[in-house]
């Protein structure tokens, strides 16, 4: 059976840096509160109507270059985002159009912070069955245009940033390396602990002025509930992928967690006895970029030379849904 291997990555973040001090001017918050509670110092916000697919396109060009793959060699695009340009169609076809790849399939994934893990897992299955040989998996978000930047929305608005990351996943006959296994989970009982209610398609009528006034067009989060579940699920998911492959925590070179909150990352590291150099973190620079955070972190880890051939790498995420999952890679 063929293995799926990540052969190239790319990332793109908008140029505009928004510091905690910038947010202090918009709402009742402080640099100290944000750093202490979430580990975030700054994030990037878009300045033009570039959209999730536009951000992903920039990341995709770099990923293709790093993988030494021509756009025409891509068989499938998988696009994970919770902030698509339109309610429909999804961002996948928009990225496909930008790449000039008319005719190839584009699959949109709606699993929020776990979106990239779900996307990579789907890519793995298609490659294992032999249906496709070269798949682009993108994670991209434009959060900044949809956050409540007043004091009412401060618990969420300070956490999120915009950005994109892309991985090229190719079929390989090297049975020792690549995606060793993926493990996906969800628990819909917690769907409303982290969600945006409106404008959805449930209510009749679908759109009302009240939705804009009562703030239900902005994301809602039960922060404490999310925090509590995140730490448990991150740990379970890491254990699950290690156990499935008979790999001990000591053998892992690097854990790349979804960048939700530095305190969550530290709690997970502590649970496994990892020093912080073995658990990747860049949340101080970008905040939580949801589906983009793992591919951005993976790309930075590769560029920093932290990952070498033969290393065991764990990708792990938790987020809205609740959804969570992990992937064990051998580089
Ligand atoms: C959001 C989060 C940082 C809040 O931290 P916390 O320690 O739980 O803080 P609380 O929600 O208890 O709020 C403490 C106080 O800070 C206030 N506060 C909330 N946001 C604030 C902000 N941006 N600036 C200043 N004060 C803020 C609250 O109103 C509250 O005030 P009160 O004590 O007067 O009522 C934390 O719950 C968290 O990280 N949750 C998980 C978030 C996450 O990872 N989401 C993505 C999942 S993929």
Q: Evaluate the omega torsion of the peptide bond into residue 184 and state whether it is cis, within 30 degrees of 0.
A: no
Taking the whole predicted model, whether its pTM rises above 0.85 is answered as yes
pLDDT digits (tens, 9 = 90+) for 111-130: 999 999 999 999 999 999 99
> Residue 108: what pLDDT?
98
> Residue 2: what pLDDT?
85
Distances (CA, A) of 260 to 9, 89, 235, 281: 21, 27, 14, 10
Point out the catalytic residue in the list 113, 241, 261, 299: 113
Beta strands in 115-199 (DSSP E): 134-141, 163-172, 178-186, 194-195
The proportion of the chain whose per-residue pLDDT surpasses 90, expressed as a percent, equals 98
Pocket-forming residues, ligand 1, beta carbon under 6 Å = 29, 33, 37-38, 113, 154-155, 158, 221, 223-224, 226-227, 230, 260-261, 264, 288, 318-319
Instruction: Indicate which atom in ligand 1 lies nearest the CA of residue 155.
Output: 20
Please report the sign of the dihedral spanned by the C-alpha atoms of residue 240, residue 245, residue 248, residue 254: negative
Residue 1 pLDDT more than 90? no
pLDDT digits (tens, 9 = 90+) for 130-145: 999 999 999 999 999 9
Beta strands in the chain (DSSP E): 3-12, 17-19, 42-44, 76-80, 106-109, 134-141, 163-172, 178-186, 194-195, 220-221, 252-257, 312-319, 323-330
> Residue 121: what pLDDT?
98
Report how far ligand 1's centroid is from the alpha carbon of 223 (Å): 6
Instruction: Indicate which atom in ligand 1 lies nearest the CA of residue 320.
Output: 48
> Residue 176: what pLDDT?
87
> Residue 163: what pLDDT?
98
Name 170's bridge partners.
Answer: 5, 134
Instruction: For helices 293-303 and 115-129, give the axis angle rounded to 10 degrees.
Output: 80
Residues 6+ apart with CB under 8 A from 150: 26, 27
Instruction: Indicate which atom in ligand 1 lies nearest the CA of residue 112.
Output: 48
pLDDT digits (tens, 9 = 90+) for 248-302: 999 999 999 999 999 999 999 999 999 999 999 999 999 999 999 999 999 999 9
Structure tokens at 105: 């399939």
């Amino acid at each position: 059976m063929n293995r799926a291997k990540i052969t190239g990555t790319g990332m793109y973040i908008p140029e505009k840096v928004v510091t905690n001090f910038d947010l202090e001017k918009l709402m009742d918050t402080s640099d100290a509160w944000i750093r202490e509670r979430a580990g975030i110092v700054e994030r990037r916000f878009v300045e033009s109507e570039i959209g999730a697919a536009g951000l992903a396109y920039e990341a995709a060009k770099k990923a293709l270059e790093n993988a030494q793959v021509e756009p025409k060699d891509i068989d499938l695009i998988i696009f994970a985002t919770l902030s698509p340009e339109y309610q429909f169609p999804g961002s996948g076809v928009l990225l496909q159009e930008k790449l000039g790849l008319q005719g190839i399939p584009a699959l949109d994934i709606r699993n929020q912070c776990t979106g990239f893990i779900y996307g990579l897992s789907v890519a793995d299955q298609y490659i294992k069955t032999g249906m496709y040989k070269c798949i682009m998996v993108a994670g991209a978000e434009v959060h900044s245009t949809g956050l409540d930047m007043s004091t009412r929305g401060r618990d969420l608005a300070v956490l999120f940033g915009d950005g994109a990351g892309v991985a090229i996943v190719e079929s390989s006959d090297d049975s020792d390396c690549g995606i060793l296994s993926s493990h996906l989970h969800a628990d819909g009982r917690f769907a409303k602990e982290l969600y945006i209610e409106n404008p959805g398609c449930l209510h009749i009528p679908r759109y009302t002025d009240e939705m804009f006034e009562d703030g239900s067009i902005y994301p809602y989060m039960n922060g404490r509930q999310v925090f509590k579940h995140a730490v448990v699920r991150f740990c379970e998911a890491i254990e699950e992928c290690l156990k499935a492959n008979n790999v001990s925590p000591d053998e892992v070179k690097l854990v790349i967690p979804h960048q939700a909150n530095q305190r969550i990352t530290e709690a997970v590291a502590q649970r496994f006895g990892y020093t912080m150099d073995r658990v990747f973190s860049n949340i101080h620079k970008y905040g939580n970029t949801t589906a983009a955070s793992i591919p951005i972190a993976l790309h930075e880890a590769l560029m920093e030379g932290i990952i070498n051939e033969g290393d065991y790498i764990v990708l792990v995420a938790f987020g809205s849904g609740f959804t969570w999952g992990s992937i064990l890679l051998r580089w």
